Chains A and B, each alone.
Chain A
Amino acid sequence: MTVDTALDPGSVATARRRLLMEALGIAASATGFGFVYGLAAREAGFSPIEAMAMSTFAFAGAAQFAAIGYVASGLAWPGVILLTFLLNARHLLYSAALAPWLRDVPFLRRAVMAHLLTDEAFALAIGHFRRLGRTDERGYWIGAIASTFIPWNLATLAGVLLGAGIPDPTRFGIDVIFPAAMIGLAVGLISGRRELVAAIVGGGVGVVMSLITSPAIGIVAGGLIGPLVGLQVPAALAHETAPLGTVASAERFVVPGAHVKDVPDPDRPWQEPRP
C-alpha cells in the first residue's frame, strides 16, 4: 500500500468529498467541451476511431483541437508533432511539481498516472494534497479519471457519432466551432502582456504567412514567432499573473469557465520540498 493508509480516515474522507465536488464541476465542463471536440473532429473529416484515438492516446484538449486545424490545413505530420510537443511541454512542470508527493507510489502506477496528468488533474491533485498535508493516491485517481478522462472520452464519442448524423454541418454553423474554440482557449491562456503580444503576433504572422505561402506554414510560423516577439516584453512590464507550472497556470489551460475553487496558489510548487 501507499501512504494512503497512514492518513487520518476522517480528514481523508472530508478532503475526498471536497475533491469530488471540485471534480464534478470539472467533469461537467469536460463533458461539454469533449462533445464539441467530437463534433469539430467529425466536421474536419475524422472517423470515430480517429477522434477517439486522439482522446484516448493524446488526451490533451487544446492539442487535440489544434490537431484538427493542423490536419484540416494540410500540415505535414512532423509539423503537427512539433507543435503538439511545444503545446504540451508545460506538463513537464506539473509532473515535476507532483513528483515529491508521489515518489512513494510504485513506478508502474506512477507511469500510468503520468498519462492522466492534465491541467485539470494537476490542479485538483496539488490542491487536494496540500489541503491534506500529505499524499492521497486515491485522490489523484479520483481527480484524474473521474473529472476528465472518462467524461472527455465519452463526450468525444457522443460528439463524433452525433456529428456523423448531421448532413450539412455548415448550415448549422458547426464549422465555426473550431476557430471560435481556438480563440476562446487562447483568451484563457492570456495572463499577462507577454501572452497578449504573443497571441496578437501569432495571429498576425499566421495570416500573413498563410496568404504568402499556405495556411499550414502560416500556423507554424505564427506559433513559433509569436512567443519570440512576446519574450521581448520586459519582465517588469509583463504583469504576469499565472506563471507556468503553478495552479493558477493550470487553471488557465483548463477550459475557461471551469474553476477549481479555493486551491492554494504557490508561486513555484515544483520547488517545494515534500511535507
Chain B
Amino acid sequence: MSTELVLLALLMFAVTYPSRALGLLTPGFERLPRVALDYLQLVGPAVLAALAVVNAVVVVRAERPMLNVGIEALGVVACLAITAWRKNLLLGLLVAVVIVAVVRAAGIAPPPG
C-alpha cells in the first residue's frame, strides 16, 4: 500500500497549522494589511474554480493537453446550478454523478481517455 503522500499530508499540515495556531498562541498577531486580507479572500474561489474547470474540460492525450467539452462538463454545470440555487452541494454532486452515469450507460458518451 502506497504511503508516499503521507509526507505530503504532513507538509500540508506544516503550512496549515501556523495559520491556525499563530492567533491562539501569539497574542496580537491578528493585524494583516487590508490588501493581504482581500487577496486571501479571493484565493479560495479562484483556485477552486481553476481546479473545477481544468478537470472538467482539459484532458491530456499523448502528453498533450487538449480541450474536451463532454458530459463531464455538463455534470459540473448542473452541480454549479444546483449548489447556487439550493445551497446544497451534496445534492449537486448526486445530480452530476447521475447525469454522467446515465449518459455513459446509454452509450451516448464514453468515459474520457
Bound-complex Cα distance A180 to B90 (A): 10
Contact A179 B5 (CB under 8 A): no
Contact B50 A171 (CB under 8 A): no
Residues of chain A whose beta carbon lies under 8 Å from any beta carbon of chain B: 29, 32-33, 36, 45-50, 53-54, 56-60, 62-63, 65-67, 69-73, 77, 80-81, 83-99, 102-103, 107, 110-111, 113-115, 117, 170-190, 194-196, 198-207, 210-211, 213-215, 218-219, 221-228, 230-231, 243-245, 249, 253, 255-257, 270-271
Contact A188 B89 (CB under 8 A): yes
Contact B53 A207 (CB under 8 A): yes
> Which of these, A57, A70, A85, A206, contacts B9 with CB under 8 Å?
A57
Contact A91 B58 (CB under 8 A): no
> Which of these, A72, A173, A180, A194, contacts B92 with CB under 8 Å?
A180
- Known contacts A86-B43, A171-B101, A179-B51, A103 near B89 by CB under 8 Å: no
Contact B97 A49 (CB under 8 A): no
Residues of chain B whose beta carbon lies under 8 Å from any beta carbon of chain A: 1-6, 8-13, 15-17, 19-25, 27, 29-30, 32, 35, 37-58, 60, 65-67, 72, 75-76, 78-80, 83-84, 86-93, 96-101, 104-105, 111-112
Interface of B is mostly: helix
Contact B15 A178 (CB under 8 A): no
Bound-complex Cα distance A205 to B51 (A): 11
Contact A170 B104 (CB under 8 A): yes
Contact B49 A226 (CB under 8 A): yes
Bound-complex Cα distance A156 to B87 (A): 23
Bound-complex Cα distance A166 to B55 (A): 21
Contact A198 B46 (CB under 8 A): yes
> Which of these, A50, A66, A173, A249, contacts B75 with CB under 8 Å?
A173
Nearest residue (CB) in A for B90 is: A32
* 9 A-B pairs with least C-beta separation: A226-B46, A222-B50, A95-B23, A96-B30, A202-B46, A223-B47, A206-B50, A96-B23, A173-B100
* Extra inter-chain contacts (20) besides given A110-B25, A183-B83, A184-B89, CB under 8 Å: A33-B89, A53-B6, A54-B5, A69-B51, A80-B8, A90-B44, A92-B32, A107-B25, A170-B104, A171-B111, A176-B75, A183-B52, A183-B80, A184-B80, A184-B92, A188-B83, A194-B42, A198-B46, A203-B54, A244-B41
